[in-house]
Amino acid sequence: MAYRLANLTRSAGCDGIVDRIDSGGAGTIRIRTGAQPTNVDDADSGTLLGTLTFSATAFGAASSGVATAASITSDTNADASGDAGNFRIYTGGAAVHSDGTCDQGTGDMNFDNKSIVAGGTIACSSMEVTQPV
């Protein structure tokens, strides 16, 4: 048999992960061009396209190991033009929390159109974080 986590344990782990985003204030998501850095602790890569901001409490309580973002404020004035390639989530204290890839349907963060235009809007309608079994 495989090692597994009970749903309450998964939810507690997930809450611990997402609650860190709130440390120091509202967390952010920074969208950049190019490939995701090799390691999450490496320097940012690519050009900053824009920054989205979580609500003061980024995620609600997890259920069955899944936490859903409360609300994410759009960036209504994108910093630069380019294709979204990677994102990083930062805590309210500006520490790197996590990162992932951006794409149209195949990324960790999916866009209906990954081509961002300077001065345009970058929006994220929903986000979930899942603690595996």
pLDDT surpasses 90 at 90: yes
The yes-or-no verdict on residue 107 having pLDDT over 90 is yes
Beta bridge partners of 59: 69
Instruction: Specify which residues 129 forms β-bridges with.
Output: 67
pLDDT of 48 reads: 98
pLDDT of residue 40: 96
Query: d(Cα 124, Cα 112) in Å, to the nearest integer?
Result: 10
User: Residue 108 pLDDT more than 90?
Assistant: yes
pLDDT per residue as tens digits for the range 12-40 = 999 999 999 999 999 999 999 999 999 99
The residue behind tokens 């979930």 is: 128
* Residue 9: strand, helix, or coil: helix
